[in-house]
Structure 1
Amino acid sequence: MSATQKTISPVDSSVYAERPYASAKEIATALAKAAAAQTAWRNVPIAERAQYCTRFTDAFVAKTDEIAPELTWQMGRPVSAVPGEVRGFEERARHMIDIAPTALADVQTEPKAGFTRFIRREPLGVVLTVAAWNYPYLIAVNSVVPAIMAGNAVILKHSSQTPLCGERFAQCFKEADLPEGVFQVLHLDHASTEQTIKDPRIDFVAFTGSVGGGHSIQRAASSRFVGTGLELGGKDPAYVRPDVNLAHAIENTVDGTFFNSGQSCCATERIYVHEKVYDSFVEGFVDLTKQYRLGNPLEPETNLGPLVRTSAADFVRKQSDEAVAAGARALIDSSLFPANKPGTPYLAPQVLVDVDHNMRVMTEESFGPVVGIMKVHSDKEAIDLMNDSSYGLTASIWTEDEQAAIDIGDRVNTGTWFMNRADYLDPALAWVGVKDSGRGCTLSSVGYEHLTRPKSFHLRTAT
């Protein structure tokens, strides 16, 4: 009998789902089916691929009411917030479908007498998507839909925390009548995932997860010249300038910090505020934070759910405690949140001031509902502090001066630079990271470049 994976719900610590891991024979069968299906799928016209993917998207959106409680039970996000993930899924899927004809079109060169020359974007083959639990549908759709639109076959290995999300993908592609083998789901343990990556029938790996996980993926792929896309961690900063719309900045940085209980690669985890608006910003930020309701995520009034597991909450608690011991001040009284209980995944939000970069909470990814706020005296100081990180996924600036935002953005080492917003992916823009936040790209027309390979056609037509 094969081993099984168990999904422990953070809602009540019960076993919500249990699935057997795929056997070696099942993995080999899936790889063979994917490779065979892809040889036919690559010849399907893009317009026809779009019809399949559109039907898939329609089927998924129609299941919003079923998906919401199912997702909440798996990873703890408040059920009231799940429809937002479905909307984001739909936005990304439809955008990548719509731009595919242009993004995948032949690249024409300048005319040359006696020659026809162009570059064709060819599919890679079989793409293995290894998706994370924190935004299980948004993360997976970033690579799954464009990979299929580009003529690849896809095998999805979802997190053991959210296995039903992978199965929802399979269900919706089946309802869309996608040819068998073009999309498959496998439940894999770490060892089987590593062996699958090493299989010569895998042509690309799209991974989202921790920095350590990214290194493991890269090691597994290192024996072959196979591409990897790695979206890893973040310690994303915000800079609040003195010309800021203060109410707007407070509302949106609080949301960017605490949405999904801070379990977002692009959550705002550290904030630098100009001294001229520091006191007012901190006061407003704390007041709004106190309005959150921590509790059972299945209750509609809850807007702050548990972390994914108790160990994650313990990690954040330890970061905060270490910072306070080193001189930081905690501005949120956890007794305001009765559901906050040590030894459980339920953790009150926390705002820390008098922090510095000697504290882990300002340098190490927290992935939870805590933020440190520092006072700065100039743009340069803010830039230096934002860049003082091993991560570089997103960063934001809060100002009314667009040119200043552009000028400062040019000096910040990050994949995405926001002005007056944060924690949002626009599918028309490339989603990338620098430093330990990873490499590669998803979304936008640039994302298609990573799911295809260029093939040059150099034809002498006059002899």
Structure 2
Amino acid sequence: MPAVQKTITPIDNSIYVERPYNSAAEIRTVLSAAQKAQAAWKHTPVAERAAILTKAVDIFLTKKDQHAEEITRQMGRPISQSPGEMRGFEERARYMIQIGPEALADIEATDKPGFTRFIRREPLGVVFIVAPWNYPYLTSVNGVIPALMAGNAVILKHSAQTPLCAESFQDAFDKAGLPKGLFQHLVLTHDDTAKVIAAPEVAYVNFTGSVAGGHAVQQAALGKFIGLGLELGGKDPAYVRADANLDHAVENLVDGAMFNSGQCCCAIERIYVHESLYDKFVDGFVDLTKKYRLGNPLDTNTNLGPMVRTSAAEFVRGQIQDAVKRGAKALVDAKSFAADKPGTPYLAPQVLVNVDHSMSVMSDESFGPVIGIMKVKSDDEAVKLMNDSKFGLTAALWTQDEQAALKIGDQVVTGTVYMNRCDYLDPALAWVGVKDSGRGATLSKVGYEMLTRPKSFHLRQI
């Protein structure tokens, strides 16, 4: 019998889900079926694809309350917040279906008499998606829906922490009448994941996860000339200028740093504040942070749940302790949060000042409810500090001067620049990272370019 994948819920560290890993024979069958199904699907008109996928989204959402509760039980986000992922799922899925016909339309060149010339967007073939646990539907829908819409087949390998999400996708697609073999999911070990990446049937890999995981994906794909979409997280900065709306900045940046226990690729992880606002900003930030209610995520009064596992919480505890040893000052008393217990996934939020970039908490991805805040004297100093990172996913600017935001945004090495908001993916815009935050893009029309190849037609009339 094959080994069993076990999902440990962070709520109480009990086993919540068990699934057997797929065997080598089952993996071969899935790859073959995907390739066969895609050969027919690529000739299905885009409008028909859109109709089936829309039906699948409708069917999926009939169980949105169940899906939301399963998110909470699998990875620990408060039940009061998990329904928000269903709303985000619907927004992205419907938007990518809506723009599909235009994004996939032929690009015509009509200025040469006697010739018919155009570029067609051809599907790549079989797309392998490796999805994470932190936003299990939002991260996977970015690839699943547009890949199918573009005429590809999809094989989804979801995180061992959130296996029910892959099954929910499967159920919706099957009930919607998606041709058999076009969407399938696998339960895989790391070694088998690498083998699927290297398989000749796979034409593109979409991976969301750690930097180390991204390197492993690249290594597994070395023997083939295929595209890779790698979304690898970040150490996302925020800069609060002297002209910022202070109350708005505090409220939104606390949420951007602490929501989902900070377990978001684009969570705010370091903040730079102009010296004229610094003291008031820190006071407001700490006051609001202390109002969080850490506890069992199934309790509707909880708005800060456990981290995904004890080891993740211990890593952040270590960052905090190291920073304090190096001179940082912790402004939140963890003892005031009764649920905070070392050796468990339950971690109180923390705000640190007197920090600098020599500290891990200001340079390495924390992926937890901790934030470091530094004082700056100018835009130039803020830009220099924001760029002093191996990551580049998003940067958030808080100002009432749009021209200043554009000027600063042009100087920051990042994939997305926000003004007066953070920690949000707009499906109309490309989601992209630079440096160790990865490569490639999802969402928007640009996302469709990653999932297709251009094929030119040059027809001369005699």
Q: TM-score, normalised by structure 1?
A: 0.99
Matches within 5 A, 1:26-425: 26-425=26-425
Q: Deviations over 1:230-281 (max 9, x none)?
A: 0002000000001011110000000000000000000000000000000000
Paired with 2:82 and 2:108, the residues of 1 have a C-alpha distance of 43
| CA distance in structure 1 between the aligned counterparts of 2:444 and 2:295, rounded to whole angstroms | 37
Partner residue, 1:450 = 450
CA-to-aligned-CA distance 1:411-430 (integer Å, 9 cap, x gap)? 00000000000000000000
Instruction: Name the stretch that deviates more: 347-356 or 101-110.
Output: 101-110
Structure 1: which 5+ runs fail to align? none
Moved more, 365-374 or 172-181: 172-181
In the other structure, the counterpart of 1:433 is: 433
* Pairwise CA distance, 1:388: 0.1
SS in 1 for 2:127: strand
Cα distance in structure 2, aligned partners of 1:317 and 1:451: 40
TM-aligned CA deviation for residue 139 of structure 1:
0.4
Distance 1:51 1:337 in 2: 49
In structure 1, distance between residues paired with 2:233 and 2:149: 27
Contact 2:129 2:157 in 1 (8 A): yes
What's the offset of the Cα at 1:189? 0.5
The whole-number CA distance in structure 2 between the counterparts of 1:133 and 1:191 is 19
Give the deviation of 1:223 after TM superposition. Answer: 0.7
4+ residue segments displaced more than 6 Å? none
Cα distance in 2, alignment partners of residues 303 and 61 from structure 1: 24
For 1:39 and 1:289, the matched residues in 2 are separated by 53
- Distance across 1 between alignment mates of 2:335 and 2:168: 39
Q: Partners of 1:376 and 1:110 in 2: how far apart?
A: 54
> Alpha-carbon deviations, 1:273-324, whole Å to 9, x = none?
0000000000000000001000000000100000000000000000000000
Amino acid corresponding to residue 15 of structure 1 in structure 2: I
**C-alpha distance in structure 1 between counterparts of 2:254 and 2:173, whole Å:** 37
Aligned-partner residue type, residue 138 of structure 1: L
1:62 Cα deviation after fit: 1.4
Give, in angstroms, the shift of residue 13 of structure 1.
0.2
**Aligned counterparts of 2:263 and 2:278: Cα–Cα separation in 1:** 26
Which residue type is aligned with residue 228 of structure 1? L
SS of the residue 1:129 aligns to: strand
Structure 1 residues 160-215: Cα deviation after superposition (integer angstroms, max 9, x where no partner): 00000110000111111111001001000101001111110000000000000000
2:6 is paired with a residue of what secondary structure? strand
Letter in 1 for 2:182: V
Using the aligned pairs only, state the percent identity.
67
CA offsets 1:85-113 (integer angstroms, 9 cap, x no match): 00000000000000001000001124201
CA separation in 1, counterparts of 2:57 and 2:352?
42
In terms of mean alpha carbon deviation, does 346-355 or 51-60 score higher?
Answer: 51-60
Equivalent position amino acid for 2:69 in 1: P
CA offsets 1:112-141 (integer angstroms, 9 cap, x no match)? 011111000000000000000000000000
Give TM-score scaled by structure 2 length.
Answer: 1.00
What is the letter of the counterpart of residue 111 of structure 2?
A: P
Secondary structure of the 2:252 match is helix
- Cα pair 2:21 2:187 within 8 Å, conserved: yes
d(CA) in 1 for partners of 2:394, 2:315: 23
Contact residue 110 and residue 116 of structure 2 kept, 8 A: no
One-letter amino acid of the counterpart of residue 451, structure 1? L
SS in 1 for 2:202: coil
Counterparts of 2:261 and 2:400 in 1: how far apart (Å)?
29
Give the CA RMSD over aligned residues: 0.5
| Inter-partner Cα distance in structure 2 for 1:193 and 1:52 | 29
Q: Which letter maps to 1:164? A: L
Q: Distance in 1 between matches of 2:357 and 2:454?
A: 44
- What do the CA deviations read for 1:396-437 (whole angstroms, capped 9, x no partner)? 000000010001000000000000000000000000000000
TM-fit CA distance, 1:392: 0.2
Q: Distance in 2 between matches of 1:336 and 1:428?
A: 42
Q: How far 1:22 moved relative to its partner?
A: 0.4
Give the conservation status (yes or no) of the 8 Å contact 2:68–2:85: no
Structure 2 contact 96–443 (Cα < 8 Å) conserved:
yes
Describe the SS at the equivalent of 2:179.
coil
Q: State how many pairs are aligned.
A: 462
Q: 1-side partners of 2:60 and 2:377: how far apart?
A: 49
User: Any idea what SS the aligned residue of 1:79 has?
Assistant: coil
Distance in 2 (CA, whole Å) between partners of 1:393 and 1:278 is: 25
Matched residue SS, 2:87: helix
Provide the C-alpha distance between the structure 2 equivalents of 1:204 and 1:297, rounded to a whole number of angstroms: 36
Structure 2 portions without partners, runs of 5+: none
